[in-house]
Chains A and B, each alone.
Chain A
Amino acid sequence: MITCREMVDLLSDYVDGHLEPTLARQLEAHLRGCTECTAFLRTFKETLALAKEAACEEMPEELKVRLRDFLRNNLQRGRSSPTT
């Protein structure tokens, strides 16, 4: 039987699907009997979901235009250019 500390240590591997099946089953057995670790797992997964949302910023269109201008100008100064 694994402890809460071990459960927390294994959590990333577990949610990433990297835990070997035997260990995963032991972790799940622990979760069934531990409300604290169940809450920990739920909030851990929620953190990953929020991280994905919080860091998903769109690239502004004007920045895309400036990037192309920058690259074309720089490459034209060089020996080869990808411009049309």
Chain B
Amino acid sequence: MGIRQSARRIFSRLTASKSAGAQSTTPPPDELLVAGLRAGDPGAFESLLAKYEARMYRLALGITRNSADAEEVCQDVFLMVLKSIGEFEGKSSLGTWIYRIATNAALMKIRGKARSVELPWDEVLPRFSQEGSHLTPVPDWSKDPEAALLQTELRTVLGQALEELPGEYRAVVLLRDVEGLPTDEAANALGLTVPALKARLHRGRLFLRGRLGEYAEKRGRLTPKGIAE
């Protein structure tokens, strides 16, 4: 009890002096946050949520593609974090640990709901000749100053393509390309080796690119130099 009170006092003092001095909402370092959570400090509880709730919601929504499911995932994740903070060994960063819990919870949520349809990889992955050259022309539909409308549409198409990806691929793309986790941390969060994560990420990215290319091409706005009205 003495230790808990002491940790709570230290956490409160440090976080209070930080915010008073810098007048910022700089979150406490992970070690301090963990100590505060273990001590049951209300300030640590708030700091944890302030630092991670938006990220976990974004990740959960990205994986489940459903706001009600994402809310339940967030509840499960933070309840588990608060209840098992005593078991956190610090082998990975606190953030990676929480991302791992969140990814597992979100994937569990969609398990059974996911369609068992095989993805049409061949339709969207690039094709090459025997010599290894592109078999078909590669239109450039990338950013064009006059193509704001197409960009908006492409964002929608990308959302649909993300939904089409199996959860395991979607989670990899979200952790790396949306959350910006380094490769080794994303691999750790997903329980994958780095080569396995890289392979899955590359295939997922190629799939998304392929779907966007299909849409841009169907829209018939392509010229060899880019997108024409």
Given A37-B138, A55-B174, A58-B54, A50 contacting B62 (CB threshold 8 A):
no
Residues of A within 8 A of B198 (CB): 12-13, 18
Q: Is B44 an interface residue (CB 8 A)?
A: yes
Q: Is the CB of B131 within 8 A of A67?
A: no
Q: Is the CB of A47 within 8 A of B208?
A: yes
Given A12-B201, A51-B208, A36 contacting B134 (CB threshold 8 A):
yes
User: Interface readout for B87-122 with A: 1 if CB under 8 Å, 0 if not?
Assistant: 000000000000000000000000000000000000
Q: Is the CB of A5 within 8 A of B128?
A: yes
Given A18-B183, A82-B45, A40 contacting B177 (CB threshold 8 A):
no
CB contact between A51 and one of B58, B151, B178, B213 (< 8 Å): that residue? B178
Q: What are 12 A-B residue pairs whose CB atoms fall within 8 Å in the complex? A: A3-B132, A3-B133, A4-B133, A13-B198, A35-B138, A36-B137, A39-B142, A43-B140, A47-B205, A54-B155, A67-B78, A74-B79
The residues of A with any CB-CB pair to B shorter than 8 Å are: 3-6, 8-9, 11-13, 16, 18, 35-40, 42-59, 63-64, 66-68, 70-71, 74-75, 78, 80-84
Q: Is the CB of B40 within 8 A of A5?
A: no
Q: Is the CB of A52 within 8 A of B177?
A: yes
- In angstroms, how far is the closest chain A Cβ from the Cβ of B30? 17
- In angstroms, how far is the closest chain B Cβ from the Cβ of A39? 4
Residues of B within 8 A of A49 (CB): 143
Q: Is the CB of A56 within 8 A of B58?
A: yes
Q: Is B154 an interface residue (CB 8 A)?
A: yes
Given A57-B61, A63-B57, A64-B53, A71 contacting B79 (CB threshold 8 A):
yes
Q: Is the CB of B212 within 8 A of A82?
A: no
Interface size for B (C-beta < 8 A) is 54
Residues of B within 8 A of A74 (CB): 79
- A1 and B138 CA atoms in complex are apart in Å by 20
Q: Is B193 an interface residue (CB 8 A)?
A: no
The interface residues of chain B, by DSSP majority, are classed as: helix
In the complex, which residues 42-82 of chain B have their Cβ closer than 8 Å to any Cβ of chain A?
42, 44-45, 49, 53-54, 57-58, 61-62, 71, 74-75, 78-79, 82
Residues of B within 8 A of A84 (CB): 42
Q: Is B169 an interface residue (CB 8 A)?
A: no
Q: Is the CB of A44 within 8 A of B205?
A: yes
CB contact between A71 and one of B61, B62, B78, B173 (< 8 Å): that residue? B78
Given A53-B155, A54-B158, A81-B40, A67 contacting B142 (CB threshold 8 A):
no
Q: Is B202 an interface residue (CB 8 A)?
A: yes
Residues of B within 8 A of A48 (CB): 177, 205
User: Interface readout for B17-41 with A: 1 if CB under 8 Å, 0 if not?
Assistant: 0000000000000000000010011
- In angstroms, how far is the closest chain A Cβ from the Cβ of B168? 16
| Given pairs A40-B134, A47-B209, A59-B54, 20 additional interface contacts (CB within 8 A) | A5-B128, A36-B138, A38-B140, A39-B142, A40-B126, A43-B141, A43-B212, A43-B213, A47-B158, A48-B205, A50-B154, A51-B173, A54-B155, A54-B156, A55-B159, A57-B61, A58-B54, A67-B49, A67-B78, A82-B41
